[in-house]
Chain A
Amino acid sequence: MLSHALLLSAVLFVIGTLGVIIRRNAIIIFLCIELQLNAVNLAFVALSRYTGIEGQLFVFFVMTVAAAEAAVGLAIIISIFRHYKTVDVDKFNLLKW
């Protein structure tokens, strides 16, 4: 079951990655990032079963960071939306030189 869980985590991770690469909606990209985090969490939990409790502790921390990230990230999306009236990442390319 352990190897299957790890494969599942790998599949979830690459699906999340694919979502980040091919979606334009900032909210959905954000959701896909959460998906990636969850995939990693799953791997942590599965391995912690046979390695020790520290894996679960790490998942705990990841969740906390994810919560903080969600709060800040969503605030940024709100502030961008207020300015551009859209959350399409194609529309805000300030990073381009």
Chain B
Amino acid sequence: MTEIFFILFAVVALGGAVGVVISRTPIASLLFMVATLASVAGIYVLFEAHFLAAIQVLVYAGAIMVLFLFVIMLLNLGHDYRADLRFGLWSLLGFVVVGLTFGVLAQGFLDVGDTGFREDGAAVAAALDAAVQEQGVAGVIAEPLFTDYVVAFELMGLLLLVAIVAAVVLAKPRSRSGES
């Protein structure tokens, strides 16, 4: 059952990814991207990462992709059908490099067993399941997030604040010459 879902999600995710790259219009790419993100969220569920699956759908597929959509609509790019794929020698080179990269990555992933790089992978998975039973899916992430990683968490908040300010400043139309 799990394998069937995995294959289903994997196929959709791959198809969506290919669609993102080869779609002629940004809107189509965006929609393919949403499909991919949703499928990846499904795979997260298969790996018992329910909380991340939820925020993947909410934040990524929801908020961020809508932001993209807004920008595309704002800039009126939806009707730009001009082909912008590169072909010829350049794409061939791209394929070669990308293929080699895949080969190297696959080579690196080959010797991973069914339970990861650790000997006690199964025990870790069992302990995780027990913790989820005890604390709930949000609790297992929240507990280290607000204890061991609290500084990083606060810095993330700061980063988001800075990003928002930067986005406002950048996107705001420039004032006319000399006025401030």
Contact = CB atoms under 8 A, between A and B. Distances in A.
Looking at chain B, what size class is its interface with the partner chain?
35 or more
Contacts of B29: 27-28, 31
Looking at chain A, what size class is its interface with the partner chain?
35 or more
Contacts of B85: 22-24
Given A8-B10, A45-B49, A79 B33 contact: no
Interface string B139-163: 0110011000100100010011011
A71 B167 contact: yes
Given A64-B156, A64-B159, A32 B21 contact: yes
A87 to B, nearest CB: 7
Interface of B: 2-3, 6, 10, 13-14, 17-18, 20-21, 23, 26, 29-30, 33, 36-37, 40, 43-44, 46-49, 51-52, 55-56, 59-60, 63-64, 67-68, 71-72, 74-75, 77, 80, 84-86, 90-91, 94-95, 97-99, 101-102, 105-106, 109-110, 112-118, 121-122, 124-125, 128, 131, 140-141, 144-145, 149, 152, 156, 159-160, 162-164, 166-171, 173
Given A3-B110, A27-B72, A82-B173, 5 more contacts: A3-B109, A46-B47, A72-B163, A74-B171, A87-B75
